Amino acid sequence: MTDVRIEVGQVVAEGLPVVSIAGDAEPEIVVDVPEDQVATFRKAQFKATLASVPDETFDVVLRELAPQAAAQTRTYRARLKPISTRKLPLGATATLLADGPVAQSKVAAIPASAITQRSGQPAVWVVRCTKDESAASVELTPVTVSGYANDQVFVSGLPAGTQVVTAGVQKMAPGLRVALPSTAAAKQQVVVQ
């Protein structure tokens, strides 16, 4: 039993669920897929890693993909199952790696603090330097988020070597002049894989 939905002595109506039961016979990994990734998600091959055992990777296959997007998130719920019989702890956190069409676009790992929004869509503030790098300004650039891992966000839509603002994004404005730190650590560039 995973959840009891009533209290002792409570009067319940007919048809009201009173408990949730989860079996471990067919474990699955549940993920929400953005609507712009659904077509390529169907064709991808997947590997998963449990957060509790990060050194072990196992193959999973798409079992089910919701035909309709969730009203609030506009994402499609996908259920994946391990190809070989494997016990997965209930409620465990997993990282899903897609190989194939989903992963073909250039993806950059950037700090989660760099993400902001533009008209409700994810965006980042990109630093644009003059030719002699004596001055720099910022420009809001839309990106496509393809995943999250700890304090990083995986995005596409940024050329290799792009510098992004990672702190104070709420104080940025288009064309705002910024000073670039001179240390090598502060000039960390986006890594495109």
CATH code, residues 108-192: 2.40.420
**Residue-level pLDDT at 11:** 92
Identical fold between 26-102 and 108-192: no
pLDDT interval class at 80 (50, 70, 90): very high
pLDDT digits (tens, 9 = 90+) for 125-178: 998 887 766 678 889 999 888 877 777 888 888 888 888 888 888 888 988 888
Instruction: With 0.75 as the threshold, say if the pTM is over it.
Output: no
Nearest to 173 by CA among 149, 148, 137: 137
pLDDT digits (tens, 9 = 90+) for 36-69: 788 888 888 899 999 888 888 999 999 999 999 8
Identity of residue 3: D
CA dist 71 to 6, 50, 68, 74, 122, Å? 27, 29, 9, 6, 19
Architecture of domain 26-102: Beta Barrel (2.40)
Angstrom distance (rounded) from CA 29 to CA 93: 9
Angstrom distance (rounded) from CA 8 to CA 39: 47
Would you list the domain boundaries of the chain? 26-102, 108-192
